[in-house]
Amino acid sequence: MLPVRAIVLAAGQGKRMKSSRPKVLHEVMGRAILSRVMDAVGALGLEHLHIVVGHSSEVVNEFVDKNPPICPFSTHLQSPQLGTGHAVMQVVPALENFTGTLLVTVGDAPVLQSDTLAKLLATHRETKAVVTALSTVVPDAKNYGRMVRDQDGKVRGIVEDKDCSPGEKLITEVNTGIYCIEWPAAAAGLSSLSCDNRQKEYYLTDLVAWAYHHKHVTETVVLTDFREVCGINSRVELAEATVHLRDITATKLALESGVTIIDPRSTWIAPEVTIGEETVVLPGCYLIGNIEIGAGCHIGPYTVMKGRVKVGNGSSVVNSHMNDSTIGENCKVGPFAHMREGNSVGDNSKVGNFVELKKAQVGNKSNVSHLSYIGDATLGNNVNIGAGTITANYDHLTKKKARTVINDGASTGSNSVLVAPVELGVEAVVAAGSVVNKAVPDGALAVARAKQSNLEGWSEKRKRIT
C-alpha cells in the first residue's frame, strides 16, 4: 500500500470572521477548528502531516507546537498568500522523495469526519485516479466553487463563484476543498497553475481541469450531507458548524453507545466525550472536554462539565458544574454543586447542594451534603461534613494556601470553620459552630465556641425599658 500524507491549508486570513485571532484557531465545541481538522486527517494513520501557515503564522505555529497532531508533522510558511494552489506549492520541496497519495484539505472545515476521508481515499485508490475531489450538493452554493461536468457526467473543472458564468452559477454541486492527489503524477499540473482569474490567485481547483485535459483519471466522491464540509468563513457559519457537530455527536452516542439524550437540541456534547450504556443526559447540559462518563449515570438537567472530567458508573450530577475533576461510582453531585479544578471523589460519596470543592480529595462513602466550601483538603472514608462547614484555606496576609486533613470517620457539626493547616483525627468530632485551628486527636470532640449563658426574664425587662 502506498503511503499517505496530508496537507492542511491554514494560511488564509479569514477576513469575514472580523477577528484578530486567526480563523483556524476559533473553537468549535472547545477545540480549535484546526485541531478538529487535524484530528480527522490524523485518524487515517498518516506518514506525515504538512500544515501550510501564513496569516498570523507565529500564532498558528505556536498553537500547533503546543497542540500537535497525533502523527509526524511540519509547518510550511506561505507568504504572501496567493491562493490554495500556491499554498500547496509551498510543500513541494518537502515532497522531493515522496511517492504516494496527498490528501489535501482546507483548514476551515471542523465538522469533517475521518470516515468521509477514508471513503475518499478508498475511491481514489480503487479508481487509480490522479485527482479525486470530494463534492457535495448544497441548497445555496453562495461562495463555493462549482463542479462543472461534461456530457458524460465527468467533472471537467471547478469554477470559483467569482468566475462563474450565469449558467454555472446555477450549479448546486460544489467543491468541498478536499482532494486526493497522486504524487508525483500531479506535480506537473501543480506547477502549471496560473493566476489568470478574477481573484488573481493560484487556484488548487484548476488541478482538476488540468488532469481532465491531460486525460488522467479524475474522480469525484459526492458527500450526501453537505453540512459536514461547510467551510467556516464567518461567525454565523461557526455557529452552524457547532450545531451540526452537536447533532452528529448526539446521534452517535444514541446509536452506537446506547445513551439516552432526552433533548439533543439543548444538549451540547463534544465529540471527545465518551458515555457508557444506559446513561441518561437531561436537557441543558454542556459537556465540553476530555470527559469520560460511565454507564447508568444520570447527568443533568443543566450540568456543565469542562476540561478533564471523569464520572464513575451509576453516579448522578444534577444541575452542577464540574471542572477538571473526577468522581467514582454511585456518587451524587448537586443540585447546585460547584466542583472547581483538581478534585477527586471516591465511590458512594455525596457532594450536595451549594457545595464548592477545590483541590479536594474525598474518599469513599463520605458526604459533604450542604452549603460548604472544601478547598485544599483531604477527606478520608466515611467522613461527614455538617451543613455550612468551611475550610479556611487562605491566609490573605501571607497569600498562602494551607491544607486541611480530615481522617476516616471524622465529622463536623454545622457551621464549623476549620482553619488550615489543621487535621482532624480518625473519628474526631467537631461541635457545631466551632472554629478549629488546632489538631483534633483521634476520637476526640473539639468544642471551640463561647459557652451559652441565658439571661432569665430578659424579654419582660426589655418591654419595661422601651
As a whole number of angstroms, the distance between CA 456 and CA 156 comes to 102
Closest CA to 329 of 350, 346, 353: 346
Show Cβ contacts of residue 59 under 8 Å, excluding neighbours closer than 6 positions.
Answer: 21, 22, 25
Does 386 contact Ca ion by CB under 5 A? no
Site stretch for Ca ion (CB under 5 A), options 100-108, 113-121, 240-248, 374-382 = 100-108
Site stretch for ligand UD1 (CB under 6 A), options 9-17, 62-70, 268-276, 333-341 = 9-17
Per annotation, catalytic residue among 86, 298, 338, 370: 370
Does 205 contact ligand UD1 by CB under 6 A? yes
Shorter beta-carbon distance to ligand UD1: residue 54 or 363: 54
DSSP one-letter code for 321: E
Does 35 contact ligand UD1 by CB under 6 A? no
Site stretch for Ca ion (CB under 5 A), options 228-236, 311-319, 330-338, 450-458 = 228-236
Site stretch for ligand UD1 (CB under 6 A), options 7-15, 356-364, 403-411, 451-459 = 7-15
As a whole number of angstroms, the distance between CA 171 and CA 146 comes to 6
**Long-range contacts of the stretch 119-128 (C-beta < 8 A, 24+):** 119/221, 120/178, 120/180, 120/221, 121/4, 121/44, 121/180, 123/219, 123/221, 124/180, 124/182, 124/219, 125/2, 125/101, 127/217, 127/219, 128/217
The single residue among 7, 11, 269, 339 that binds ligand UD1, judged by CB under 6 A, is 11
Does 231 contact Ca ion by CB under 5 A? yes
- Given a contact cutoff of 8 angstroms between Cβ atoms, the answer to whether 121 and 128 are in contact is no
As a whole number of angstroms, the distance between CA 151 and CA 347 comes to 68
As a whole number of angstroms, the distance between CA 192 and CA 284 comes to 53
Shorter beta-carbon distance to ligand UD1: residue 127 or 197: 197
What is the side-by-side order of every strand in the sheet holding 332-333? 260-261, 280-281, 298-299, 316-317, 332-333, 350-353, 367-370, 384-385, 411-412, 429-430, 445-446
Site stretch for ligand UD1 (CB under 6 A), options 141-149, 236-244, 334-342, 434-442 = 141-149
CB of 138 to ligand UD1, least distance (A): 9
Per the annotation, the verdict on 214 as an active-site residue is no
**Dihedral over Cα of 52, 56, 61, 63: its sign:** negative
CB of 272 to ligand UD1, least distance (A): 22
- Given a contact cutoff of 8 angstroms between Cβ atoms, the answer to whether 281 and 262 are in contact is yes
**Long-range contacts of the stretch 343-351 (C-beta < 8 A, 24+):** 346/381, 347/312, 351/320, 351/327
Q: Is 201 helix (H, G, I), strand (E, B) or coil?
A: coil
By CB under 5 A, the count of residues binding Ca ion is 2
As a whole number of angstroms, the distance between CA 249 and CA 239 comes to 15
Shorter beta-carbon distance to ligand UD1: residue 83 or 409: 83
Does 361 contact ligand UD1 by CB under 6 A? no
Does 203 contact ligand UD1 by CB under 6 A? yes
As a whole number of angstroms, the distance between CA 164 and CA 158 comes to 10
CB of 41 to ligand UD1, least distance (A): 13
Shorter beta-carbon distance to Ca ion: residue 237 or 408: 237
CB of 314 to Ca ion, least distance (A): 45
Closest CA to 40 of 343, 248, 344, 317: 248
As a whole number of angstroms, the distance between CA 74 and CA 6 comes to 11
CB of 135 to ligand UD1, least distance (A): 9
Sole residue written with cell 451540526:
244
CB of 23 to ligand UD1, least distance (A): 7
The single residue among 143, 191, 260, 437 that binds ligand UD1, judged by CB under 6 A, is 143
Closest CA to 206 of 84, 108, 94: 84
Pairing mode, if any, of strands 411-412 and 429-430? parallel
Residue numbers 96-125 binding ligand UD1 by CB under 6 A: 106-108
As a whole number of angstroms, the distance between CA 255 and CA 184 comes to 42
Site string (219-258) toward ligand UD1, x via CB under 6 A: ------------x-x-------------------------
> How far, CA to CA in Å, does 24 sit from each of 16, 93, 196, 410?
12, 24, 28, 52
Shorter beta-carbon distance to Ca ion: residue 237 or 427: 237
By CB under 6 A, the count of residues binding ligand UD1 is 30
Q: Binds 390, which of ligand UD1, Ca ion, none (CB < 5 to 8 A, cut-off by type)?
A: none
Does 181 contact ligand UD1 by CB under 6 A? no
The single residue among 26, 31, 36, 86 that binds ligand UD1, judged by CB under 6 A, is 86
CB of 88 to ligand UD1, least distance (A): 9
Does 204 contact ligand UD1 by CB under 6 A? yes
Q: Binds 174, which of ligand UD1, Ca ion, none (CB < 5 to 8 A, cut-off by type)?
A: ligand UD1
Which residues are known catalytic residues?
Answer: 370
User: Where do contacts with Ca ion occur on this chain (CB under 5 A)?
Assistant: 108, 231
User: Where do contacts with ligand UD1 occur on this chain (CB under 6 A)?
Assistant: 9-12, 52, 54, 78, 81-84, 86-87, 106-108, 143-145, 158, 160, 174-177, 203-205, 231, 233
